[in-house]
Structure 1
Amino acid sequence: MIRHLVLFKLNEGVSRDDERVQAGVRAFEALKDEIPELTFWECAWNITDRPIAYDFAINSAVADTDALKRYLEHPAHQAAAGQWRAFATWVIADYEFPDPAGA
């Protein structure tokens, strides 16, 4: 299994209430039902206020590197990520972890 983590930082002067941001959140929330490669999906706003904190996070999982590639190239993912490019920056981490089902 591969865990795909993404942390987003809104650009200076951009708030969570910005309609572009709200549309971007809705686009990410919809991915769980649009991309079959996703075996796990959650996204949410950060709940703490610390100077080093990012604003929004995605925590997801796929079966293997081929599934990760398909997910990243999927048109719905490309469209959602494209929205965020206009108002945020982000960092990612992809790492392997054992399948919790033991497969």
Structure 2
Amino acid sequence: MIRHLVLFKLNEGVSRDEARVQAGAKAFEELGGVIPELDFWQCGWNITERDIAYDFAIVSDVADGDALQRYIAHPDHQAAAAQWREFATWVIADLES
């Protein structure tokens, strides 16, 4: 199993209340029911107010590296990520267990 973690930081001056940001969050929220490779899917807004905190997170599990690549290449994932490129940066970690 591979746990795929993504932390998003909104760009300077971007608010989570903006329509484009809400649309981006909704696009990721919907992926859990769309992409068959996802064995577990959770995403949402960070609830803490700390200077080092990121704003939005995704935690997902896939069976193996091939499933991870299919998830990453999936058109709905690509479309959601493209929205976020407009207003945020992110970091990723993939953990194998």
Structure 2 matches for 1:1-103, cutoff 5 A?
1-97=1-97
Q: Structure 1-normalised TM-score?
A: 0.93
Structure 1 Cα separation of the partners of residues 47 and 13 of structure 2: 19
For structure 2, the 5+ residue unaligned runs are none
- Tell me, which stretches of 5 or more residues in structure 1 are unaligned? 98-103
SS at match of 1:28: helix
* 1:7 counterpart letter in structure 2: L
TM-score by length of 2: 0.99
Structure 2 residue aligned with 1:101: none
Structure 2 CA distance for aligned equivalents of residues 63 and 8 of structure 1: 24
Q: Over aligned residue pairs, what C-alpha RMSD do you find? A: 0.4
Secondary structure at 1:53 match in 2: coil
Shift of 1:95: 1.0
Tell me how many residue pairs correspond in the alignment. Answer: 97
**Cα distance in 1 for residues equivalent to 2:32 and 2:47:** 22
| Distance in 2 between residues matched to 1:35 and 1:95, nearest whole Å | 20
Task: Give, as a single letter, the amino acid of the residue that structure 1 aligns with 2:34.
Answer: E
1:4 CA displacement: 0.2
Query: In 2, Cα distance between the equivalents of 1:51 and 1:33?
Result: 33
